[in-house]
Amino acid sequence: MAAFKRKRGGLGPAAKKAKKVNIVADGGEDKQNENDEITIAAPVSMGKWTNKERVLIFSSRGINFRTRHLMQDLRTMMPHSKADTKMDRKDKLLVINEVCEIKNCNKCLFFEAKKKQDLYMWISNSPHGPSAKFLVQNIHTLAELKMTGNCLKGSRPLLSFDPKFNSEPHYALLKELFIQTFSTPRYHPKSQPFVDHVLTFTIADNRIWFRNYQIIEEDASLVEIGPRFVLNLIKIFQGSFGGPTLYENPDFQSPNMVTSSARAAQKTPPIRCHRSGSLEISFLMCRFVSCSQHRRTLRLAAAAKVREKHMVKDIHKVKRTEAKEDLNKDVTADVFLTPAEEKPVHIQTEAPEPKVVKKNKHKAFKRQRMQKARR
C-alpha cells in the first residue's frame, strides 16, 4: 500500500477533525452533540490592506555615521519603508522621482549632506508634489540616547501634533505630509496590530521638534524611546523636489551665514578711547580696520608665494650649471660580486676508484617475491 502524501496545508487520513463550538452572544457555549462544531470569530488582523503608502528612505553620498544611524532608526520604526543605495551628489534631485517609481514608492525621505557637516532633509509626495526642505539639527539616535522606553517592532504609532499646525496654512500642509509619511498603514503585512508608542511634532522657536514616546499601560504615562531631531523649515515647493515655491521661511539662516557672522564678530573687537577710557564702538571704523588687515594679509601671502617660486627657480638654475662628473667606470657593476677566498686549482691525474657494487641490489623485496609466488 502506497504511503499517503500529505498536501501543504491539508490533513492526513489519520488526523481527526477538530471540535467546534458555537459561541453564543451571552458568553455561553452551545455544544452540538452530533457534529461537535465550533464557530469562532475571525482574528482582528485578517482585515484587508487598502492603504498602499510606501516610503523610500535613502541619502546622498557624504553623510556621517550619525545620519546613517538615524536613517536606520527611521526604517526600523516605519515598517512600510524601503531602502536604496546612496545617490551621487552630481545627479539632479528630479532623478529621485524615477527611483521612487522603480521602487513602487509614493513618499520619499531624502537626506542630503553638504560639506560633511550640514544635513538637509527632503520630504516629498512623489511624483506630483508637494515637497518640503528642512535643515536637520540636534540629531540623537537610539544607540546614543539609551532611553528606558521601548516598543514592539512594527507596531502602529499615534501621531500627536501641536495646535499651531492648524493655525497657519503652511503648517497644515506639513501636517498632512507628516501624517501620510510617518503613519503606518492599517493591516500592513509587516506591521503589528498594536498601538504602544506615539510620535510627537511640536513647534517651538519656529522649528519642528520630533520625539518618540512609549505609552505605558498602567497609568498611560509617556517614556521617551528615541530618536530625536529638530527640523528647521526652509522652503515648501509645489512639485516633487522642485517647482514653484509655495512658502519660504523668512527666519531661516543658512549654516554658512551663521558661521560667517560668528567669525566677523570675533575679528572686530571694540576700540577703547585712551582719553576718556570709555568704549566707543564705531561700525565703520571696525569694518575699515578689519578690511585693511585682511587685504594686508592677502598681500603678504601673495608676496611669500612669489618669493618661494623665485627661490625654487634659482635652485634649479644652480643645479643645471654645475659641472657634471664623467664616470668612466660603471658603479653598479660590482653590486652582485661577493668577496670570497680564492681556491687552488686541482688537476686530477689518477683515475678514480671503481665504485663498490652492493650484492642483492636488484633483489626484490619480500612482499614482491610473495606476490610472484602466488601468481
Separation of alpha carbons 209 and 217, rounded Å: 25
Query: 154 versus 265: which is more confidently predicted?
Result: 154
What average pLDDT score do residues 212-223 get?
88
- 249 has pLDDT over 60: yes
- 214 has pLDDT over 80: yes
Q: pLDDT-based confidence at 202, cuts 50/70/90?
A: very high
- CB of 287 within 8 A of CB of 295? no
Q: pLDDT-based confidence at 331, cuts 50/70/90?
A: low
- Give the residue carrying C-alpha cell 539632479: 92
- 14 has pLDDT over 70: no
- 33 has pLDDT over 80: no
What average pLDDT score do residues 55-81 get?
93
pLDDT value of residue 213: 94
Model confidence over 281-319: pLDDT tens digits? Answer: 454 455 555 667 778 888 888 888 888 888 988 888 888
What average pLDDT score do residues 208-233 get?
91
- 13 has pLDDT over 50: no
- 24 has pLDDT over 50: no
pLDDT value of residue 206: 92
Model confidence over 90-149: pLDDT tens digits? Answer: 889 999 999 999 999 999 999 999 988 899 999 999 888 899 999 999 999 998 888 888
Query: 232 versus 276: which is more confidently predicted?
Result: 232
Average pLDDT, the chain: 81
Separation of alpha carbons 101 and 105, rounded Å: 6
Lowest mean pLDDT among 262-276, 313-327, 339-353: 262-276
Model confidence over 321-330: pLDDT tens digits? Answer: 776 666 677 7
Element (H, E) at 313: helix 283-321
Q: pLDDT-based confidence at 194, cuts 50/70/90?
A: confident
What average pLDDT score do residues 179-191 get?
91
**Cα distances (angstroms) measured from residue 154 to each of 74, 94, 184, 187, 194:** 11, 31, 9, 11, 9
Separation of alpha carbons 44 and 360, rounded Å: 96
pLDDT value of residue 207: 94
**Contacts of the segment 66-73: beta carbons below 8 A, 24+ positions apart:** 66/139, 66/141, 66/144, 67/111, 67/113, 67/119, 67/139, 69/141, 69/142, 69/143, 69/144, 70/111, 70/139, 70/141, 70/227, 70/229, 71/111, 73/141, 73/142, 73/226, 73/227
pTM assigned to the model: 0.60
